[in-house]
Structure 1
């Protein structure tokens, strides 16, 4: 089964309160099959973006997906995972390695970045999670 995994992460402030989200759809029908959010506490936007990716991949595995098409609005994460950009920061290196390991669980995978407007579902879930954790 192939799923399209829209993922996002965001921080209000950098670093600041952060959240990650994923919206999974059936690749054939486009129907939403799962949604998830995670409040991350205080972290950076880039860490939140990777956490969104990892959350989406975890949910895809739980659904039994064998193939994933990951869509996000972070060009940095997409290009790092695709090997086009180097990963230099130690925290990012660990998240990058975790993401590559998670992707190996699938028979096929791809990742690409799109403008935020084309990732609106995951973006909205990030904001909902952040709003829910306001002090």
Structure 2
């Protein structure tokens, strides 16, 4: 994988309550496997599936802003997630029937066009711990701030 790609983006999304407070986590690594960016972002009320889709959208936008749109055109990206459902939808194996998910799919698909190649691969949760930890940190931080119930 690392020889064929310029960047590897690990993503995760989660919701406490489903729907409930949701967040995403992103880890961007270069072709040597070195982490060059990692973050979590609180999303507000949402579902697990919405957060799972918003994570790769955020990751691709972040990478594009880091390297520039011109370089993105020649950049190969491997997207790694622990949502088998999302990965199978993005790889054309499963249909998307929910209209909200269709909109997120289209947003992600349109971002994909900015890069030379974007592939999607599902891994186990154990292989995606770093992105998952950013999700939980963002949710915990929001909970500590007390704004979940206002």
Q: TM-score, normalised by structure 1?
A: 0.95
Runs of 4+ aligned residues of structure 1 deviating over 3 Å after TM superposition are: none
- Matched-pair contact (CA < 8 Å) for 1:60–1:68: no
* Counterpart position of 1:86: 95
Question: 3-state SS of the aligned residue for 1:123?
Answer: helix
Aligned mate of 1:49, from 43, 48, 52: 52
Q: In structure 1, list runs of 5 or more residues that go unmatched.
A: none
Whether 2:9 is the aligned partner of 1:5: answer yes
Where 2:95 maps in the other structure, the secondary structure is: coil
State how 1:1-135 maps to structure 2 within 5 Å.
2-27=6-31, 29-64=32-67, 65=72, 66-134=75-143, 135=146
In the alignment, is the contact (CA less than 8 A) between 1:36 and 1:55 conserved in 2?
Answer: no
Larger radius of gyration: 2
Superposition deviation, residue 2 in structure 1: 1.0
CA distance in 1, matches of 2:121, 2:104: 17
CA distance, structure 2, for counterparts of residue 36 and residue 131 of structure 1: 14
